Structure 1
Amino acid sequence: MQFKEVIGQHSLKKELPELMKENRLAHAILFLGKEGSGALPLALAFAQYIVCERISRPLAVSQGPSLFGDPEPEPDTISYDSCGTCPSCVKAAAFAHPDIHFSYPVVTKKSGTPPISTDYITEWREFVKGYPYGNAYDWLQFIGAENKQGNITAQECNDIIKKLNLKSFESEYKVLIMWLPEYLGNEGNKLLKLIEEPPPNTVFLFVAENESQILATILSRVQLIKVPLPEDREIEAALLERNNTSPETAARIAAVSQGNYHMALQLAQHAEEDWQELLRDWLNAIMKTGPVAQAKWVDEISKLGREKQKQFLQYFNHLLQLAVKIQVFGQAGEGFPEKDLDFATRFNKITRMEQQEAIINELDNAAYYIERNANSKMLFMALTIKIYHIIKDKIVFLNE
């Protein structure tokens, strides 16, 4: 993968090559970015950049004229992307370079054998080619984990130590990309010595979404690079160019997804879903028709599945943020669908900003627990009751 394939992240695409140019490349880097930010594609592109044969040559030293007529790079110049054509880049793009190793959450594949990432390397290559912005849930479903919890195990750590202590096969560098070190328990302490004193030209690239769930002993030994969410216009352009989404739908989805390209793709896949009708039914059940209608609605949404439930909450969150903008600035800005603006305006007639912010907080909490396999019926019934009291009784619930 090349940097040009990563959505947005223009500053980081410039800064990362300069780390190589200025010999400031840390041996352990943590790419920290929320779901859909592109932290994994960025790490994949950087790994390819590191092993690229045209980049790994000393940039300030003349290599002489090329036998094949390629222009000789000027001394002290810098390329801001891998070439994409050398043998190393071709292998890296296929996620099959012998000096780029991968670690990720897995489940037991064969009964009685400890799970390690190598067991799923074929599936991994297929996954990152097709879903580079996918999340942990997508990956675990892709490998048929069903309800099993993925882990990065002690056996995996031993395998990493063994691989990285071997000599590199082709490249000057050896690179390990560990996706989601949040799934690494205390077994991760096995890696501390290797991270602190790695073999020469060994680079760890950790890719994480939640800093608080990473072992403190690992956090203290890495260079942190925060990966921001892409801007709405970048999400919109990506949907148009990569997903063949219609301009009107792309603009609407970009506004709702708030920089999360994973969410944007999910919304594009279900663009025909009428979330607003579902939301109207919910609010009517909450404020008008009562417990029987509420129970029926909760039963309906509990059948949708986790990803659609998250999309629905994200859509409601989007409308509430529109309502807040209208209250603060008198308008929401350009590019929003008329029906979304109309809903936000109507919602402003029955709620104040403090209530809207309280509901946003509850929706964020609900999305968090859905991601962690909470019982959807219990969660949405509790959320229904909380929203009723926030709107009717103006109660703001405090999180412990």
Structure 2
Amino acid sequence: MLFASVIGQTEIKSQLTDMVRNNRLSHALLFLGKEGSGGLPMALAFAQYVVCEKVQGKPSDATTSLFGEGPVNAPGTVLTDSCGVCAACTKAAVQVHPDIHFSYPVIPRKPGDKPISTGYIAEWREFLKINPYGNIFDWLQFINAENRQGNITAEECNDILRKLNLKTFESKYKILVMWMPEFLGKEGNKLLKLIEEPPPNTLFILVAENESMILPTILSRCQLVKIPALTNADICQQLIRKAGLSADQAQQLAAISEGNYREALQQLNHAGEDWLHLVREWLNAILKNGPVALSKWIEEISKQGREKQKQFLRYFNHLLEQSVRLHILGPDSEWANSLPVKEKDFILRINKMSDLSQQEAIVEELDKAAYYIERNANAKMLFHALSIKLFHILAEKTRVKPW
């Protein structure tokens, strides 16, 4: 995978390539980022960058090593991405490079099995091809785990020790990409000496989402690379380019995905919804059009599935967050002028009819409603109660007691 194929994260890409060019690269890196931020695609792109023949340079003009004796490439050469066309890149792109190894949670295929990642390599390649931004749930469902828990086993650790103590086949460097080290139990201590004193030109890339679940002994031996959540603009551009959405649809999906590209993809089947229009109808029914209009609106929203109802509430929350920013930065700020015209108009109207304390109260009620929807609350009763609460907050300017 090329860095160019990884969504956004320009600063991280520059940081990683600078590490290589300036010989500041640790033997063990931990890519830490929340679901959907692109930690795994970034690791795949970085592994390809390291083994790329043009990045490594030919023997005649490459005078140094990756880990500290001098520049990797010929003097004056600046490569910010792998070439994508050399033999190493073409192999790395489809996960068949013999010097790039992978480790990830797996399950026994049958009782008594002691599974290792290599036994699932065909499924792994297919999964990365169709869903590189997927999470652990997606992966386990892909391999038909059903309700079984995936693990990185002691047998897997033994296999890692064996593979990384072999000589390289084609590249100067051996690389292990371990996805979700959170699933590595105490058996992971087998890898400590290897991580601390690896064979020459060996690189560990761990990709995690939850730092607190990683063995402290492994965590302390890694250089941390934090992968931030994606920006709404990056997700929006990707949805327009890859999914063919209109700018308005892409902006709405990006707004409720909270920097999670996987979540944005999950919501694509609802991309045709005009959430802004739905919020307008709701508030008009609550404050202006009366009980008949409100009952009709609630009847319609209640027919939608839980995921769609949660998506609607998240979008309303997004509008209120933007409203708070507009309160602070002002309607003529550079940030405010970058908002979509329809959203900015709606936010300005919200700001005229409510202050910060009221908006905070509404956000709390929306969060509670989303929580109860996840737990199968009756949609009609929930939206009726929520509508009454919003009326009291907006019309009477008072907080209501918790339900």
When the two structures are superposed, what TM-score results if normalisation uses the length of structure 2? 0.77
Q: 2:145 aligned with 1:145, yes or no?
A: yes
Change (3 A) 1:207 1:62: closer
The answer as to whether partners of 2:161 and 2:191 remain within 8 angstroms in 1 is yes
1:366 and 1:185 map into 2 onto residues whose CA distance is 37
Deviations 1:157-193 (A, max 9, x none): 2222222222222211111111122222333222212
Provide the secondary structure at the position in 2 that maps to 1:105: coil
Deviations 1:323-378 (A, max 9, x none): 3234334545544363x5576567667865346446657877998x99xxx97337
Change (3 A) 1:359 1:137: farther
The answer as to whether partners of 1:358 and 1:396 remain within 8 angstroms in 2 is no
Change (3 A) 1:93 1:396: farther
Change (3 A) 1:212 1:250: same
2:206 and 2:355 map into 1 onto residues whose CA distance is 42
Which residue of structure 1 aligns with residue 190 of structure 2? Answer: 190
The answer as to whether partners of 2:252 and 2:315 remain within 8 angstroms in 1 is no
The answer as to whether partners of 1:229 and 1:259 remain within 8 angstroms in 2 is yes
1:224 and 1:321 map into 2 onto residues whose CA distance is 30
Which residue of structure 2 aligns with residue 210 of structure 1? Answer: 210
Higher alpha-carbon deviation: 280-289 or 223-232:
280-289
The answer as to whether partners of 1:36 and 1:263 remain within 8 angstroms in 2 is yes
The answer as to whether partners of 1:140 and 1:146 remain within 8 angstroms in 2 is yes
Which residue of structure 2 aligns with residue 29 of structure 1? Answer: 29
Which residue of structure 2 aligns with residue 394 of structure 1? Answer: 399
Aligned ranges 1:312-323 → 2 under 5 Å:
312=312, 314-323=314-323
Change (3 A) 1:80 1:396: farther
Which residue of structure 2 aligns with residue 271 of structure 1? Answer: 271
The answer as to whether partners of 1:161 and 1:194 remain within 8 angstroms in 2 is yes
The answer as to whether partners of 1:251 and 1:335 remain within 8 angstroms in 2 is no
The answer as to whether partners of 2:154 and 2:188 remain within 8 angstroms in 1 is yes
Which residue of structure 2 aligns with residue 353 of structure 1? Answer: 356
Aligned ranges 1:231-250 → 2 under 5 Å:
231-250=231-250
Which residue of structure 1 aligns with residue 69 of structure 2? Answer: none
Segments of structure 1 that go 5 or more residues without pairing to the other structure are 64-72
Q: CA deviation at 1:221?
A: 0.7
2:217 and 2:99 map into 1 onto residues whose CA distance is 26
Amino acid at match of 1:159: D
Which residue of structure 2 aligns with residue 377 of structure 1? Answer: 376
Deviations 1:34-73 (A, max 9, x none): 222212111100000111122223799369xxxxxxxxx7
Provide the secondary structure at the position in 2 that maps to 1:207: strand
The answer as to whether partners of 2:47 and 2:100 remain within 8 angstroms in 1 is yes
Provide the secondary structure at the position in 2 that maps to 1:177: strand
Aligned length: 378
Which structure would you say has the larger Rg?
2
Provide the secondary structure at the position in 2 that maps to 1:90: helix
Provide the secondary structure at the position in 2 that maps to 1:205: strand
Provide the secondary structure at the position in 1 that maps to 2:45: helix
1:366 and 1:225 map into 2 onto residues whose CA distance is 36
Amino acid at match of 1:154: A
Identity %, equivalent residues: 54
Deviations 1:260-310 (A, max 9, x none): 222222333320246568879999999999xxx9xx999977x646xx676
Amino acid at match of 2:38: G
Q: CA deviation at 1:234?
A: 2.3
Provide the secondary structure at the position in 2 that maps to 1:89: helix
Amino acid at match of 2:376: K
Which residue of structure 1 aligns with residue 259 of structure 2? Answer: 259
Which residue of structure 2 aligns with residue 166 of structure 1? Answer: 166
Provide the secondary structure at the position in 1 that maps to 2:267: helix
Aligned ranges 1:80-95 → 2 under 5 Å:
80-95=80-95
1:107 and 1:171 map into 2 onto residues whose CA distance is 31
Higher alpha-carbon deviation: 211-220 or 94-103:
211-220
Change (3 A) 1:270 1:298: closer
Provide the secondary structure at the position in 2 that maps to 1:23: coil
The answer as to whether partners of 2:256 and 2:311 remain within 8 angstroms in 1 is no
Q: 2:337 aligned with 1:336, yes or no?
A: no
Segments of structure 2 that go 5 or more residues without pairing to the other structure are 64-72
Amino acid at match of 2:250: A
The answer as to whether partners of 2:255 and 2:315 remain within 8 angstroms in 1 is no
Provide the secondary structure at the position in 1 that maps to 2:160: helix
Change (3 A) 1:334 1:13: closer
The answer as to whether partners of 1:175 and 1:205 remain within 8 angstroms in 2 is yes
1:383 and 1:394 map into 2 onto residues whose CA distance is 17
Higher alpha-carbon deviation: 311-320 or 227-236:
311-320
The answer as to whether partners of 2:361 and 2:399 remain within 8 angstroms in 1 is no
Change (3 A) 1:251 1:276: closer
Aligned ranges 1:5-16 → 2 under 5 Å:
5-16=5-16
Q: CA deviation at 1:28?
A: 0.4
Which residue of structure 2 aligns with residue 201 of structure 1? Answer: 201
Change (3 A) 1:320 1:213: farther
